[in-house]
Amino acid sequence: MKIHEYQAKEMFARFGVKIPGGKVARTPQEASRATEEMGGQAVLKSQVHAGGRGNAGGVKVVRSPSEAETVAEQLLGKNLVTRQTDAQGVPVNLLLVEELANIAHESYLAITVDSSFRGTVILASAKGGMDIEEVAAANPEDIYTESIDCSLGLMPFQARRLAVKLGFGPELARPVGQAIGALYRLFIENDCSLVEINPLIATAEGEIVALDAKITLEDDSLFRHADLVELRDKTQEDTLEAQAVDLDISYVTLDGDVGCLVNGAGLAMATLDAAQNAGASPANFLDVGGGATDEKVASAVEIILSDPKVKQVLVNIFGGILRCDIAARGIVLAYGNKNANLPLVVRMLGTNVDEGKAILRDSGLPVTFADTISEAAIAITAAR
């Protein structure tokens, strides 16, 4: 789960990491007033769940409260399209108005889980303030990786080494080490999957400040962080994707017209690949999950049917932990609830397949059965 920069910075402050003075603004008037409080000039930062805001025009420096009002008017209520969003972009409902920093050095710091190391790592680079993916691609040696032992945690010598790799002078080793230690504690205590700061700066006055803040919380750990669940902003999510999250269904909107209902992420990806190879264009990725009930399957099908792009539905269920009869009942239920008659191509195999097929056959729905994944892909293409 992603959270906004201002929310991440509030967490930073609670853990003792310095952040610039700032205020959240919901209207141009609030932005103007906040700029006045910052001393008459400020940076206005669009609060959206996407990176690449700066290049997309979502971050602007203003030199007066009246300029702040004009700029805020241009940003608020509009959608921001960045290289990490789709063509529609994401709505800007909030601005973070921050005081300008006096930057002496910029660095990049991130904490994440590395599956090859099978543990937590801290990434550090002295090249902060620029596109870190470009740095990683062009000069991988400029990014240093410190691997953390989960029982020891971050050791002081590692923090000292990171301070050097971040490019700070020895006189700043202590405050930098404290900041890294605080961020590591924040990462562990809140079950994050990513904490990223670009840039982490030293000011001319010798303070270490997080100018930016990105936190992603691990979805599988949210059950033990009720307070963090509150930070979710559904306006930043695709409407259908947000509905799916609420139902614990993995769903991603795509551009095509074939709605896909599949069980298992691997089979769902394989189904998309096979459909595309046959010339069809999937409207979504959907993994209904293992222990689904017929109600949950029905909700998944209703999400598919709610997408106006969808002209036909491809079902690929390999019954294992999810039984085919449950899947079939869910499909019939959803078609009834939605009063839908979009054609279905159904490929079912595995546990209780005969019951599943019988339920669909007796339902009167416009079902074409396919025996294999390639037959299903061909049938869906033929129906166009």
Partner 1 sequence: MGILLDENTRLLVQGITGREGSFHARSCKAYGTNLVAGVTPGKGGQLFDDGVPVFDTVAEAVKQTGANLSLIFVPPPFAPDAIVESADAGVPLIVCITEGIPVLDMIKVDKFLRNKPVRLIGPNCPGLINPGANCKVGIMPGAIHQAGRVGVVSRSGTLTYEAVGQLTSLGIGQSSCVGIGGDPITGTSFIDVLRLYDEDPGTDLVVFIGEIGGTKEQEAAAYIKEGFSKPICALVVGAGAPAGKRMGHAGAIITGESARVESKTAALRDAGAIIIPTPADIGATAEAVLKRLK
Q: Which parts of this chain interact with partner 1 (CB under 8 A)?
A: 84, 113, 115-116, 118-120, 133, 136-137, 149-151, 188, 191, 193, 218, 220-221, 223-224, 250, 252, 254, 262-277, 282, 285, 287, 289-291, 318-321, 349-351, 372-374, 377
How is residue 280 annotated by DSSP?
Answer: -
Pairing of strands 192-203, 103-114: antiparallel
Nearest CA-CA partner of 195 in 204, 203, 186: 186
Catalytic (active site) residue 230: no
Least distance CB 153 / partner 1 (angstroms) = 11
Q: Which of residues 32 and 236 has its CB atom nearest to partner 1 in the complex? A: 236
Q: Which of residues 157 and 223 has its CB atom nearest to partner 1 in the complex? A: 223
Q: Which of residues 92 and 280 has its CB atom nearest to partner 1 in the complex? A: 280
Q: How far apart are CA 104 and CA 378, in angstroms?
A: 61
Among candidate residues 146, 196, 302, 335, the one labeled active-site is: 196
Exposure letters 227-244 (e unless 16+ CB within 10 A, then b): ebeebbbeebbbebbebb
Q: How far apart are CA 59 and CA 45, in angstroms?
A: 5
Least distance CB 149 / partner 1 (angstroms) = 8
Among candidate residues 6, 108, 184, 335, the one labeled active-site is: 108
Q: How far apart are CA 373 and CA 361, in angstroms?
A: 19
Least distance CB 284 / partner 1 (angstroms) = 11
Least distance CB 267 / partner 1 (angstroms) = 4
**Beta-carbon contacts of residue 251 (< 8 Å; ≥ 6 apart):** 240, 241, 244, 284, 285, 286, 287, 300, 303
Task: Please give the full DSSP string across 38-66, using - where no structure is assigned.
Answer: TTS-EEEEE--S-S-TTTTT-EEEESSHH
Least distance CB 111 / partner 1 (angstroms) = 11
Q: Which of residues 44 and 283 has its CB atom nearest to partner 1 in the complex? A: 283
Catalytic (active site) residue 108: yes
- Count the Cβ atoms, other than its own, within 10 Å of residue 176: 24
Q: Which of residues 73 and 191 has its CB atom nearest to partner 1 in the complex? A: 191
Summarize the chain as % helix, strand, coil (round to 5).
40, 25, 35
Supply the residues annotated as catalytic.
108, 196
